Structure 1
């Protein structure tokens, strides 16, 4: 039987090092396909697989998974970029629904009620500040609104929902997503140490995460590191916040005078609510709850690994300076203001 022909491989040039000949040879070796059981496999695919398996173990926390993904993206690159990009959104949604099986509806209502005023004020405040800051920086209206919505509501999910309503171009979507994902990565590492340094309670930290961290994945990841109660508060408040995608998308269509656009509804949030209600009112499901929650936490860890693996140096550089300035400005203001209010009122 004839062996399959190996596809041609032209790996990118490696970074300059003191021993460039050795580095070049090693780099090319990891990118060159080799036949394994009749299938072409590259070394970096093996590395990706090993890291993926490690993320399934108890030793891989969400920050560790994100760091591993980032390290892979900056060195060997993600060999399955298109597959992980397609899987990330679904995996996050299933993981969030799974977390619902570990929550009590009564406690969630109390947490959501506590975060309602923070949510309303912070969303409208962020969108208003973003509008004026974007004009000051000379950014386009669509990019400014996308970054503002991502900061105000729920990161990449909000951008993905509002983008089609704006009829935003691909490059405008990429700039907004790149800005939000980079700041998400920073927040996941920075928030837990800040919370411990300020001796924040579980409820305070969970509420702060839900308001001040953009994407649901990083909110849940940071809160999970801090504690179970913080995780419950953060998840509930963040998902209640994510429902604001709907009115903000409708408002966007009216303000930007877009007709005939389709509003993207985050239906997975209703799955989370259903799981929470089942866990609260169907005692027969209680033995299954811990298993589903454990699987959901593993799914979240894998989600953050995939997100990190997608943040290549090229992606980071392509955003440019001014969108980062806008993103950092909005993030610093909402983080500082919400932190001050939470520490003095909650």
Structure 2
């Protein structure tokens, strides 16, 4: 990275780091006053970032660094988390869970599409909402859009509300632990099956437990890998033009580099090639990068967008999410996860 690029990114990264530091200090104050952190720094960073964006829109000076923090730093954090996953965790998850993830994604896409059409959404919009909800939010929408020939306004509307709802899910999902009496394992699976983006799984599970974080990330990565088969399937349904669009999609779009990095570190950890000293460093570094990234995520949430997104799209995305949560809970009960 050259000096010009560093200078371009520095203001935005510094802003996100400052918000992250404030979030960490507020968590420390919580612990001092109440004896426990009712709101983790990850969540506080999102709230502070969102509050900042509500009253102030960052100018061009800040945007590159904020984008870098929200995407690249978060992807690095996810990759580092692979060092905490061993083959034993994969084996303990079991083939039934892996198969169940594929079933949940398939059912969620079908149910979400049916809801969208029932609400009179155009079929392309319904497909975007369904894939974004069932797989990985904005990434799935961006990958599917050229395959089905979606209009730019449809893509923008789908991404706008999905981004905001994704933050709401991160903040609200942990509340289901006491309400539904979920174990740490069950909650990790639920988060992996329902949270939109891989990095957001960290924000939704880290405040609960390390076990939830590890299993949630593993489940989410398997869910993301479903994007490839879904895009190929849609291309076959949509016709030749879509197939050509699919061929233009690079493997990096279907299997992002940080997922490959996560899996590589997990393999190295399982083979004993990662020293204990590095393992002890990887987790806190991943946590710090995630907090900075959550601040950036908050800075990217403009609550005023809600007023510009159509009511039918809002209702379709919300109902689709509720259906996804219901299907995921049914899978957890069916598998009898401890």
Shorter-chain TM-score tier: 0.7 to 0.9
Task: Give the Å deviation of 1:254.
Answer: 1.6
Residue pair 1:220, 1:235 contacting (<8 A) in 2 also: yes
Aligned to 1:336: 326
- Change in Cα spacing, 1:199 to 1:164, as seen in structure 2 (3 Å) is same
Residue pair 1:147, 1:179 contacting (<8 A) in 2 also: no
Aligned to 1:265: 254
Task: Give the Å deviation of 1:128.
Answer: 1.0
5 Å-filtered alignment, 1:57-136, equals 59=27, 61-79=41-59, 80-111=62-93, 113-136=95-118
Aligned to 2:35: none
Residue pair 1:155, 1:216 contacting (<8 A) in 2 also: no
Task: Give the Å deviation of 1:229.
Answer: 0.6
Q: SS state of the match for residue 287, structure 1?
A: helix
Aligned to 1:51: 19
5 Å-filtered alignment, 1:133-152, equals 133-152=115-134
Q: Deviations over 1:73-106 (max 9, x none)?
A: 1112234235423542222221111100111122
TM-score, length of structure 2 as denominator length: 0.82
- Distance, in Å, in 1 between the alignment partners of 2:18 and 2:278 is 29
Does 1:276 find its partner at 2:275? no
Does 1:240 find its partner at 2:230? no
Aligned to 1:30: none
TM-score, length of structure 1 as denominator length: 0.80
- Distance, in Å, in 1 between the alignment partners of 2:259 and 2:101 is 16
- Change in Cα spacing, 1:173 to 1:85, as seen in structure 2 (3 Å) is farther
Does 1:159 find its partner at 2:148? no
Aligned to 1:216: 198
Residue pair 1:166, 1:253 contacting (<8 A) in 2 also: yes
Aligned to 1:176: 158
Does 1:288 find its partner at 2:278? yes
Residue pair 1:56, 1:302 contacting (<8 A) in 2 also: no
- Distance, in Å, in 2 between the alignment partners of 1:293 and 1:238 is 18
Residue pair 2:16, 2:293 contacting (<8 A) in 1 also: no
Larger deviation, residues 317-326 vs 222-231: 317-326
Which consecutive residues of structure 2, in runs of 5 or more, have no partner in the other structure? 1-10, 28-39
Which consecutive residues of structure 1, in runs of 5 or more, have no partner in the other structure? 1-41
Task: Give the Å deviation of 1:141.
Answer: 2.1
Does 1:312 find its partner at 2:280? no
The RMSD of aligned alpha carbons is 2.5
Does 1:204 find its partner at 2:186? yes
Task: Give the Å deviation of 1:336.
Answer: 2.2
Task: Give the Å deviation of 1:48.
Answer: 6.2
Q: Deviations over 1:260-295 (max 9, x none)?
A: 212322232111110111122134522101212211
- Greater helix fraction, Structure 1 or Structure 2: 2
